[in-house]
Structure 1
């Protein structure tokens, strides 16, 4: 390989070199790095485009001694589900940490899907009951499907309950074919799903609550991935009010942009300093669920370091195995 060669990794290449454990472990490591003093530098920006509900974004991060400089740029179009397209389209570029040379270009849609679902799976593994139990998933798109596939490999699950408007209308034919061999059932309603699940993942882009606090049984863990903006609230205020613990990938970001967290702080349901970084649970500094009947809520906001760690791992594995395409740009 020449110095000018750039490694190009497609969706198939990335999936060929990363196992479910690789993905989830990488996100656990990213959460730890995110709150490590002075190890991570990052920035992000986004703006509304002229398409309805769409945004363009750029995330960048580097971890000292852990990754090169990684950029992810792309767009998010929530209405793409009706077109049969992913909501996110993105490209990831990886740069050498010393020279800054571009060393790799990756399918950013795949990196985004894997790191988001993998982060949620890492949180479930840290915060949910260790025994097999029912996991409810609100949503049936790419993120929901990826979450089910990853979690089934890294945590004991008795069954998955799924619900979305599309599943309600079309039944199991709406499910991704990768779920065919897994214990997946379709719930009758969001309430039915919540009342029968002990872990609940909200994989939506909803601006109105899809989970109500009154539906939660004792000992439930609720994980959100689509409440990353002030106007998006997958959970009602009752969920936060009933929670014994509110956890986030990075509390500072959650307090700036997470809809349910902002609403709860404004309503004085929780104090701003009550949001716990998941890194404290992962390091063993906090027990997470203090009592079996505690309700725990985790919010994933999406961090640039998650993309960086996963992209770097994919590139490292791909180079070692000779996977991917080398291009002289």
Structure 2
């Protein structure tokens, strides 16, 4: 790193990217016409039985204005090492000259923009009066998703469930210290039935949310499973819901909740109602009725990274 290229660490990313502002930036980006090639996705075999490591290369550009690329690794075994599964670095370039403008903590940028994308989807798909939010998973995405949904809906009750109740309790204590009261849910089915918005942020290989548990008016926000083999919802949940995605290409290629449902016949690709481009451009209004069950599947797109990085640099001066 040369002295004239600033590095923005995680604390600065978190401090400067508030969720209302970031949601607005993503809304404008999805309404625009930036170039986003399909991301490069590579599986790297790891020693032992911890599962493959994933390498992601994610470029995007607004021609003549900004170019960015993110390099990310997702390492399932990092939990046992007391490290976050997601690690990465973002490089922002001047769109006119190609000069490097900044290096940004990729993990913090990813977590922040991912949560904001879910909040953006919820602003179209969740009921305006949604008050109870269930967070499934107590990992790195749990607090950002809880905070982001509170930025777009009048959440007054937050539930948190995780396979390891000790992790859920520790995260609840951390959130309480930040002024957000969270109830640790001992049983998943009961928590799902109580929620208006259900977010998932896990590395699950098997469905966690069962379609038979869902009630009219709920919004399901699937964030964690990011490979064709992973899934956090079952076929019945997909059958019962109106389906929204961040990008159609990414969801149909990489999102197990979509890919496996298509493979089983539970979902026809043409039944995907809209992606975030359609919603932000006013081509689809999102939720059609108070009783509709909506499902948003997030895979992630480099457009979100570039929008977040540009907003970050504006605010950092």
Partner of 1:18: 17
Number of residue equivalences: 310
Task: Identify the match of residue 196 of structure 1 among 194, 197, 208.
Answer: 194
| Equivalent residue for 1:76, pick from 74, 79, 83 | 74
Determine the structure 2 residue equivalent to 1:250. 247
Tell me the distance in 1 between the aligned counterparts of 2:278 and 2:41: 29
Q: How big is the alpha-carbon RMSD for the aligned residues of Structure 1 and Structure 2?
A: 2.0
Please report how far the alpha carbon of residue 205 of structure 1 lies from its aligned counterpart in structure 2 after TM superposition: 1.2
* Matching residue within 207, 232, 235 for 1:234: 232
Aligned mates of 2:86, 2:15 — CA distance in 1: 21
Note if contact 1:211-1:236 (Cα within 8 Å) is conserved in structure 2: yes
User: Which residue, out of 300, 303, 311, partners 1:302?
Assistant: 300
1:99 maps to 97
Moved over 4 A (4+): none
When residues 165 and 268 of structure 1 are mapped into structure 2, their CA distance, relative to the original with a 3 A threshold, is closer
- C-alpha separation between the residues in 1 aligned to 2:264 and 2:149? 34
SS in 2 for 1:6: coil
- Deviation, 1:42, is 2.7
- Tell me the CA shift for residue 182 of structure 1: 1.2
Q: Which runs of 5+ in 2 are unaligned?
A: none
> Out of 106, 110, 113, which is 1:108 matched to?
106
**Who is 2:125 aligned against?**
127
SS in 2 for 1:61: strand
Equivalent of 1:45, from 36, 40, 46?
A: 40
Residues 62 and 95, structure 2, Cα contact 8 Å, conserved in 1: no
Give the whole-Å Cα distance in 1 for the aligned partners of 2:111 and 2:221. Answer: 16
Is the CA contact (8 Å cut-off) linking 2:122 and 2:152 kept in structure 1? Answer: no
Deviations 1:284-318 (A, max 9, x none): 33232222111111100100111111011101211
Larger deviation: 173-182 or 214-223?
A: 173-182
Q: CA deviation at 1:23?
A: 2.1
Please give the secondary structure, in 2, of the residue aligned with 1:142.
coil
Correspondence 1:262 to 2:259: yes
- Write out aligned runs for 1:210-225 (5 A): 210-225=208-223
- Aligned partners of 1:311 and 1:260: how far apart in 2? 28
- C-alpha distance in 2, partners of 1:152/1:179? 15
Alignment correspondent of 1:325: none
Aligned match for 1:316, one of 292, 314, 317 = 314
Contact 1:74 1:91 in 2 (8 A): yes
Cα distance in 2, alignment partners of residues 80 and 176 from structure 1 = 22
The 1-side partners of 2:163 and 2:268 are apart by: 35
Q: 1:269 to 1:173 in 2, by over 3 A?
A: closer
TM-score normalised per structure 1: 0.88
Tell me the residue number matched to 2:140.
Answer: 142
Return 23-32 or 250-259, whichever deviates more: 23-32
Q: Distance in 2 between matches of 1:252 and 1:155?
A: 28
Q: Using the alignment, how far apart are the partners of 1:203 and 1:171 within structure 2?
A: 13
Secondary structure of the corresponding residue to residue 165 of structure 1? coil
> What stretches of structure 1 of length at least 5 have no aligned partner?
320-329
Point out which structure has higher relative CO (alpha carbons under 8 A, 6+ apart): 1
